[in-house]
Amino acid sequence: MSDALIWLYPWIKSLHVISVIAWMAGLLYLPRLFVYHCDTPPGSEGSERFKVMEYRLFRYIMSPAMHAAWLFGLLMVFTPGLVDWSAGWVHMKALSVILMTVLHTVFGRWVRVFRHDRARRPQRHYRIANELPTLLMIVIVIMVIARPF
């Protein structure tokens, strides 16, 4: 198995990056939809359109992309000689990915809240939430590329 992972590494890494890009696109766009959705009256044509957009983005793009990112990421973790677990950057990256997954789950709950017309939070809440994936992405990219510690 380990020889196969080494041989497939360039493909696994490529698929991981593609998955992460798709996941990040959704994580950056979905809270923006929530911001706009806040301005529409429940039950209106606009609100119903946002419900469809939010659900489809979360269900058909973000969730499969997150699962693929995790799958290909774990395959890289199990590729022999790739990860030095004594380095601090690996742990910081892992923590950031876990936080990104928690954020994904929170966004999924918000999709359901909007879907049932129970959203009560102000736009500002979703505007702030829109910045969190960016901050986590910055940490993850710095950990992987610069490996500061």
The H or E element that residue 136 is part of is helix 123-145
Q: What is the pLDDT of residues 76-101, one digit of tens each?
A: 999 998 899 999 999 999 999 999 99
Contact 65, 26 (CB under 8 A): yes
The answer to whether residue 1 scores a pLDDT higher than 80 is no
Neighbouring residues of 17: CB distance < 8 A, sequence distance ≥ 6: none
Range of the domain at 105: 2-145
- Regarding pTM above 0.75, the answer is yes
Domain count, the chain: 1
For residues 73 and 77, give the distance between their C-alpha atoms in angstroms, rounded to a whole number.
Answer: 6
